Amino acid sequence: MSKISTLIKPTRIPAAAGGIQINYCKNPACQNYGVPALEKQSGRKQMNDGYMASGGGASIPVLKCKLCGEFPPIKSNIAVSEELARLLADLIPASDPSCPDLQCASHNIPVNSGKGHYQSYGMTHSGSKRYLCKGCGKTFTVSSVSTLRQRHSDKNQMIFSLLMNKSPMRRICEVAEINPRTLYQRIDFFHEQCKAFVAAHERPLLEGMAIPRLYIAVDRQDYTVNWSNQHDKRNVVMHAVGSADHGTGYVFGMHLDFDPSLDPAQIEVDAATLNDQAISYPFRRYARLWLKSDYTDHMRQRSRMRKRKSGVARDVTTDVADTYDAFADRLDVEVPLSQSFDTTLPDKGMQVHGEYTLYGHFLYLKRLFGGVEKVRFFMDQESGIRAACLSAFCDEVKARKTDAFYVRINKDLTVNERRHAIAISRSEFDIAKSNHPGLKDSEVEIQLIQNRLLNMAAIGKWSDRWLLHPFPSMSEPEKAICYLTDYGDYAADHLARLYSKASLHSIDRFFMQLRRRVSLFERPITTSSAQGCSWFGYSPYNPEVAMKLLMIFRVFYNYVAVGKDKKTPAMRLGLAKKKVCMDDIISFSPN
């Protein structure tokens, strides 16, 4: 078992990887923002670059920014670039797969380039080919799904439709008269089709399609995956991060902290050979992945943490303050708490450390947003999301092309409390309106926000200033907003307009639809007695199935489902001319 206090720290900060170096101050108000610490270890005690590197109080390595006093945790650039590569693979056609290991010499050499580099290594259950890479000695799979091999392909549309309309897996098998194995093969096939379809349709974004403004809401959603080992009844909890645009509803990414391409047994052996556990976290070869020893460390860390109060009726300001307190309790402020005592790691594929999926997600968005003139992010109050956003979009923030806001919504209110909040705001609005009879409603709103901006509450360790949004809705009854990239360079009314747009509704709506329409993602019904060990009726057995369904549903949501305006999100954004039918996706061919 590794002792946290004696971990080896080979250099000052990890070397850049794939052009990525994220070890810098993430405070937008600081001169060091986006200026990386120097990589080389010097003979002198200190390096003259505005940072001090240390193991930190509990030996989580951190930088200290000498200019603003912040302590950004040191992170692995290899892990970030590996995660970005994993996510970007969805946008790249699967015709020329190669060894997925970024550090392997064969990484960009396609599998079809012959026996010199790869050797065939059997098939997986779902019919994907497995290869042994001669460069690094590891195996990987390449999915090869085709309609030609499929019997009953006439049932595809029915199965697709059942999947998107809340039919449990067992029921789909009954209705379509297929066995579970066929159903999972069909899910693989739909996933491949959706991937090819969306890669072709989102290509304009990668090529810099011009978009004047995007208002992007970002949040995370958790899923419980059933145990698959009968001797270990704990569940695996997965987390997805999603980003959706307010104006069009388009969901740009929905990324699960799970890498199905890896074999945990193989990686554990490799990590042991490299003695990875003896090295400080961000310097490890496998910094991106949850190894068994990380899980043990995490449990030990968790057991030391204070129990947070819950179930107390409270307002959004207390909620914001409590969340900041919880950040301060973390050993690493960027690491969202993910595992609890009754959860475990998946035994097929590997779970990714949450903060690296967040970094990967925002860097992925950055690739898609090359042609967007201005992007505003509205994000759930989570320091991992903040760090990932402010580092991926650092240049754009500095160039004043990107702004970021925290949005906190108190969802604990009852229906009556929500109505009450709306009534109060309505009367405040009516008074303001009668005081300014010449103004339009929207102008009165901006006026009210402007007034509130003059006296905002400073909350938490960083004294961030939060605005209580004056116009609640039933879905966002109490809403507080914090402007994270405030350079004081916007006029009061411009600023008020940005605050007025702050909301998480676009990503919330997607999350809700996902829970409602795909039975596997239905919120598990927890009972206080057997919580965590209960068999959640429709939860997927295998996280890879969940991951595939997330992608399938994202494509369905963006391209098939129309809103009141008879348009799909893709039509509103300009990525599709008309509503797409499920059949168009099933029969899609990129050529």
Least CB distance to Zn ion at residue 67 (A): 5
Q: Is 225 in the site for Zn ion (CB under 5 A)?
A: no
Distance between CA atoms of residues 406 and 408, nearest Å: 7
Q: Is 141 in the site for Zn ion (CB under 5 A)?
A: no
| Distances in whole angstroms, Cα of residue 39 to Cα of each of 50, 278, 288, 359 | 13, 21, 20, 20
Beta carbon nearer to Zn ion, 93 or 135: 135
Instruction: State which of residues 62, 133, 196, 236 lies at the interface with Zn ion (CB under 5 A).
Output: 133
Instruction: State which of residues 21, 23, 32, 243 lies at the interface with Zn ion (CB under 5 A).
Output: 32
Q: Is 52 in the site for Zn ion (CB under 5 A)?
A: no
Instruction: State which of residues 136, 206, 326, 456 lies at the interface with Zn ion (CB under 5 A).
Output: 136
Candidates 187, 221, 300, 208; CA nearest to 540 is 187
Least CB distance to Zn ion at residue 32 (A): 4
Three-state DSSP state, 177 = coil
Beta carbon nearer to Zn ion, 26 or 548: 26
Distance between CA atoms of residues 230 and 541, nearest Å: 12
Least CB distance to Zn ion at residue 264 (A): 17
Least CB distance to Zn ion at residue 18 (A): 16
Least CB distance to Zn ion at residue 103 (A): 8
What is the helix (H) or strand (E) element at residue 176, kind and residue range?
Answer: helix 169-176
Least CB distance to Zn ion at residue 379 (A): 20
Beta carbon nearer to Zn ion, 117 or 361: 117
Least CB distance to Zn ion at residue 135 (A): 4
Least CB distance to Zn ion at residue 68 (A): 3
Least CB distance to Zn ion at residue 49 (A): 12
Distance between CA atoms of residues 376 and 404, nearest Å: 6
> Using CB under 5 A, which of the segments 28-36, 169-177, 180-188, 353-361 binds Zn ion?
28-36
Candidates 485, 341, 461, 483; CA nearest to 402 is 485
Q: Scanning residues 242 to 271, which ones bind Zn ion (CB under 5 A)?
A: none
Q: Is 13 in the site for Zn ion (CB under 5 A)?
A: no
Q: Is 25 in the site for Zn ion (CB under 5 A)?
A: yes
Is the Cβ–Cβ distance between 403 and 417 less than 8 Å?
no
Q: Which amino acid is at 39?
A: E
Beta carbon nearer to Zn ion, 38 or 432: 38
Beta carbon nearer to Zn ion, 68 or 200: 68
Beta carbon nearer to Zn ion, 52 or 136: 136
Least CB distance to Zn ion at residue 26 (A): 8
Q: Is 387 in the site for Zn ion (CB under 5 A)?
A: no
What is the helix (H) or strand (E) element at residue 448, kind and residue range?
Answer: helix 441-454
Beta carbon nearer to Zn ion, 65 or 164: 65
Beta carbon nearer to Zn ion, 32 or 141: 32
Beta carbon nearer to Zn ion, 85 or 136: 136
Question: 454 — phi, psi (to 5°)?
Answer: -75, -25
Is the Cβ–Cβ distance between 459 and 466 less than 8 Å?
yes
> Using CB under 5 A, which of the segments 21-29, 115-123, 350-358, 542-550 binds Zn ion?
21-29
Three-state DSSP state, 410 = strand
Distance between CA atoms of residues 228 and 313, nearest Å: 38
Beta carbon nearer to Zn ion, 104 or 448: 104
Q: Is 132 in the site for Zn ion (CB under 5 A)?
A: no
Least CB distance to Zn ion at residue 134 (A): 8
Q: Is 382 in the site for Zn ion (CB under 5 A)?
A: no
The secondary structure of 542-582 as a DSSP string is SHHHHHHHHHHHHHHHHHT---TTS--HHHHHTS-SSPPPH
Question: 351 — phi, psi (to 5°)?
Answer: -80, 140
Q: Is 29 in the site for Zn ion (CB under 5 A)?
A: no
Q: Total binding residues for Zn ion by CB under 5 A?
A: 15
Beta carbon nearer to Zn ion, 202 or 276: 276
Least CB distance to Zn ion at residue 128 (A): 17
**Three-state secondary structure string covering 221-253:** EEEEECCCECCECCEEEEEEEEEEECCCCCEEE
Q: Is 53 in the site for Zn ion (CB under 5 A)?
A: no
Distance between CA atoms of residues 114 and 116, nearest Å: 6
What is the helix (H) or strand (E) element at residue 379, kind and residue range?
Answer: strand 372-380
Is the Cβ–Cβ distance between 444 and 436 less than 8 Å?
yes
> Using CB under 5 A, which of the segments 22-30, 319-327, 366-374, 578-586 binds Zn ion?
22-30
Least CB distance to Zn ion at residue 262 (A): 12
Residues 6+ apart with CB under 8 A from 578: 571
Beta carbon nearer to Zn ion, 25 or 390: 25
Candidates 107, 546, 552; CA nearest to 351 is 546
Q: Scanning residues 452 to 471, which ones bind Zn ion (CB under 5 A)?
A: none
Least CB distance to Zn ion at residue 307 (A): 33
Using the 8-state DSSP alphabet, how is residue 72 labeled? P
Beta carbon nearer to Zn ion, 118 or 556: 118
Q: Where are the alpha helices (DSSP H) in 106-155?
A: none
Q: Kindly write out the interface string for residues 97-126 of this chain, putting x where it contacts Zn ion by CB under 5 A and - elsewhere.
A: --x-x--x-x--------------------
Q: How many CB atoms lie within 10 A of CB 222?
A: 11
Beta carbon nearer to Zn ion, 101 or 297: 101
Burial class of residue 35 (count of CB atoms within 10 Å of its CB; 0-12, 13-18, 19+): middle
Least CB distance to Zn ion at residue 70 (A): 5
> Using CB under 5 A, which of the segments 27-35, 336-344, 427-435, 484-492 binds Zn ion?
27-35
Burial class of residue 304 (count of CB atoms within 10 Å of its CB; 0-12, 13-18, 19+): exposed
Beta carbon nearer to Zn ion, 103 or 165: 103
Distance between CA atoms of residues 165 and 475, nearest Å: 23
Q: Scanning residues 56 to 95, which ones bind Zn ion (CB under 5 A)?
A: 65, 67-68, 70
Binding site for Zn ion (CB under 5 A): 25, 27, 30, 32, 65, 67-68, 70, 99, 101, 104, 106, 133, 135-136
